[in-house]
Chain A
Amino acid sequence: MSNLTPTAIGSGHEGNLRDQVKAYFSRVKNGEMGALPAIGALVVLAGLFGSLSPFFFTKLNIANLFVQAAELTTLAAALVFVILLAEIDLSAGVAAGVAMDIFYLCLKSGLNWIVGVFVALIFGALVGLVLGWFVAKIGVPSFVVTLAFFLGFQGIALILLGDGGLFRVEVPEIKAIMNENLPAAAGWGLLALMLVISLSIGLWDRARRSKLGLAVRPLSILLTKTALIGLIGGFIVFFLNQNRSAAFKPIAGVPIVIPIVVGLLFVGTFVLDRTQFGRHLYAVGGNPEAARRAGIKVGLIRISAFVICSMLAVVSGLFHVSRIGVVEAAAGRSIVLSGVAAAVVGGVSLFGGRGRLVHAAIGAMVISMIDNGLGLLGLSAGISFLVTGSVLALAATIDALSRKRSGGSLARS
C-alpha cells in the first residue's frame, strides 16, 4: 500500500510460458474445468471399449462414430444457445422431425431439394420465434412451453405422415452428406485451411494488442495450440483417408458431414466469442437483470437464441434423414435428451452463462461413444440408457459443484 505509483493492473496475458501454464491450472482448480472432465471420460471410454471389443478401434467403426457424433453434435450445439440462457428446448428434436416431414412434402410436390431445405429452415426459424416469444414476452417457463411443443409436434408429425408413416427421401445431395467421403486431398486441404484461419486469428489478436501496448501471451502458446489442433486433426484425416471397407469397393476419405459440422461450430463460436450479440447472450445468461440495466434488449436476445436453436436443430434433422434415408413420424423424440446430455457432459452449465460450442462437440462424442461401445459389446439398449443417464447425473453434479467453487452461488440467493 505504501508505494505511490499505482501498481500495474494485469490482464492475464503477462508472464512466460511457465506462468501461463500455472495460471491455467489455478483456474482449473478454482472450478473452471470446461471440457476437461469430458475429455477424461473420452480417454477412459476409448480405453475401456478398445480393450473389450476388438471391433471398436477398426477404421470402419471409428468413421461410424464420427458420423453418428456429427448429428448429435449439431443438435447439442443448437441447444447450447438456449442452455447458455439457463433455458431449455425439449422440442428441438421433434421440431426438426416435423421440418423434415415438411421437407419431404416439398419434394413430393415436385419442388427442388434446395427450396425444400430452405422451407425447412424457415419453419425452424418460425418455431424458434414462437417459442422465444412465449418465453421472453409471455414469461412461460421454457421447460413447459417446449414440453407442450414436444407433444404437439409429435401430433403434427403423425398427421402429416400418417400413423407409422415412413417415406424414402431420394436426394443424392442429401444422402451424400452422411454417406459420401471427401477425396483424400480435399481432407488435407480443409484441415490446412482450418489451421491457417485459426493461426491468422491468433496472430491478428496479438498484433492488435501489441499495437496498443498491451501484454501478449508468449507466441509459443499460440503455436503449440495450433500444432496440437494440427496433430489431432492430421491424425483423424490420415485415419479416415485409409480404406475402411471389408468389401471389394474401397471406402476412404473424411465423411462430408465432418467439415460441415466443423464449419458450423467455427461460425457459431465466432458469433459467441467475438460479436456483440454473443457477448449479450452470455450476459443475459449470467445475470438477466444486469443485462437489462446495461441496456441490452433481453427479450430480443432470448428470442434470437430460440430461433438459432431451432434452425440448427433442423440442420441436425437433415443429417439424420441423410443417414437413414427416410422421414418417419417418430423422428426426433429421444435424441433431444441425448443432445441436452451431450451439452452438459461436455461442460456447458445448466445454470446459464457458461459453456462453449466445442463443449457440445466433445460431449456429443462421449454420448455417441457410450452408445457405440455398448452396442458393440452386445449389451442391450437398456444398459446404454442407464450408463448415459449415470454419466449425465455425474456431469450435472460436477457442474453444480464447480459453480459453487467458483463463487457463482453467491449471486442467486
Chain B
Amino acid sequence: MDTPVIELSGVKKSFGPVDVLKGVDLKAYAGKVTALVGDNGAGKSTLIKGLSGVQPYDEGIVKFNGEAVNIHDPRQAGAIGIEVVYQDLALCENLDIVQNMFLGREEISQLTLNESEMELQATKALQSLSVRTVKSVRQKVSSLSGGQRQTVAIARSVLRNAKLVILDEPTAALGVAQTEQVLNLVRRLADSGVAVIIISHNLVDVFKVCDDIAVLYLGRMVAQIETSKTTQSDVVGYITGTKTYDGAN
C-alpha cells in the first residue's frame, strides 16, 4: 500500500493524572474515508485536537505524507493541509457563504477585499463537490439548514486545498435526507483524492461511506480494519470492549 497521508504512532496525551490517549496508532489514506469510532470519552476528540494543533500531543510520532511533523498550532496544521470541520461547524451566521468560506484567508487586491474573485472560487469549490442544495453563495449562513451549513463547512476545506479533512460527527444533528446528502458529499470529497477521517456514533452511516474503521477504546486503538472485512456487531463489540480484535488481516 502507498504511504498514508497521516500516520500516528504511539501518540499519548494526559490531562494531569488522567491518561486520555495511551499510545494510539492511526493511518489515513488519500481517497479513503476512515471512520474513527469509540464510546463517549474514548478520546476521539482529544485525538483530533492533536492533529489540528489545538491541543498538541505529549508523546508520539506524527507523519504527514511519510515525513515526521510536529503540529503545534492550528495555523500550521492548516498550512500543511489538515482541515477540521468541528461539530459546531464554526461558521459566522451573520456572514454569507462566500465570506465564511474565505474567512481568515480573504483574497485581497489593492488593499481591499476582492469579492468577485472569492465568489468565483467559492462557487467553483461547491460545484466541484456537485453541491445542488445551495441556491445562492451570497445567502447568509443564518438562513441555511443544518445540512447546508455542513456543506459549506466541508466545501471550505476543499477551497483550502486540504490533503486531510477531519469531520467531527458531521451528521449528528441531521435528518434522513440531509444525512444522505452530507454522506454523499463526504464520499465525493474522498473520491477527489483527499484523505477523510470521520468521527461518528452512527454505525449505519459508517458502514455506508467508510473504507476503513478505527476503533478507540479507553484511549487505545483496539482495531483498524477495512469495512468490507468486518461486521457491525463486531465493531460494536470492539467499541464496548466485549470483543477483542485479533488482528486477522
Contact = CB atoms under 8 A, between A and B. Distances in A.
Contacts of A232: none
A290 B113 contact: no
B90 A11 contact: no
A265 to B, nearest CB: 18
A275 B142 contact: no
A397 interface: no
Nearest to B135: A10
B113 A9 contact: no
Interface stretch (A127-135, A157-165, A278-286, A371-379): A278-286
A293 B75 contact: no
B75 A295 contact: yes
Contacts of A275: 111-113
Contacts of A30: 143
A283 B95 CA distance: 7
B123 interface: yes
B58 interface: no
Contacts of A205: 115-116
A146 B117 CA distance: 41
A7 interface: yes
A291 B92 contact: yes
Interface stretch (A89-97, A108-116, A207-215): A207-215
B104 A294 contact: yes
A267 B103 CA distance: 23
B61 interface: no
A83 to B, nearest CB: 13
Interface in A391-407: 406-407
B116 A407 contact: no
A205 to B, nearest CB: 8
A212 B90 contact: no
B104 A296 contact: yes
Nearest to A274: B112
A408 B112 contact: no
Interface in B124-143: 126-127, 130-132, 134-140, 142-143
Contacts of A286: 92-95
A284 to B, nearest CB: 9
A406 B78 contact: no
Contacts of A58: none
Given A408-B142, A411-B93, A290 B103 contact: yes
Contacts of B119: 11, 209, 214
A353 interface: yes
Contacts of B89: 290
Contacts of B130: 6
Contacts, number: 118
A32 B88 CA distance: 24
B91 A407 contact: no
A380 interface: no
B127 A290 contact: no
Interface string A345-358: 00000001110000
Contacts of B93: 286-287, 353, 407-408, 410-411
Secondary structure type dominating chain B contacts: loop
Given A9-B126, A12-B139, A290 B90 contact: yes
Given A10-B135, A214-B120, A276-B113, A287 B143 contact: no
Contacts of A290: 89-92, 103
Secondary structure type dominating chain A contacts: loop
Contacts of B138: 10-13
Interface in A52-86: none
Contact of A295 (B104, B112, B117, B126): B104
A289 interface: yes
B86 interface: yes
A1 B92 CA distance: 29
A296 B103 contact: yes
A353 B92 contact: yes
A213 B95 CA distance: 23
A279 B106 contact: yes
Given A353-B94, A408-B93, A279 B113 contact: yes
B108 interface: yes
Contacts of B94: 282, 285-287, 352-354, 408
Interface in B164-205: none
A209 B112 contact: no
Interface in A286-317: 286-287, 289-291, 293-296
B77 to A, nearest CB: 11
B106 A407 contact: no
B137 A11 contact: yes
Contacts of A10: 135-138
Contacts of A287: 90-94
Contact of B143 (A1, A212, A353, A407): A407
A61 to B, nearest CB: 38
Contact of A9 (B78, B90, B103, B137): B137
Contact of A282 (B95, B112, B134): B95
A411 to B, nearest CB: 5
Given A10-B135, A274-B112, A290-B91, 9 more contacts: A9-B127, A11-B138, A208-B114, A208-B116, A209-B119, A275-B113, A279-B99, A280-B104, A290-B92
7 contacts: A11-B136, A279-B113, A282-B95, A290-B90, A295-B78, A353-B95, A408-B93
Interface of B: 74-75, 78, 86, 88-95, 99, 103-106, 108, 111-117, 119-120, 123, 126-127, 130-132, 134-140, 142-143
**A-B residue pairs, 10 tightest by C-beta:** A294-B104, A353-B94, A286-B92, A286-B94, A290-B90, A12-B138, A295-B104, A294-B103, A10-B136, A274-B112
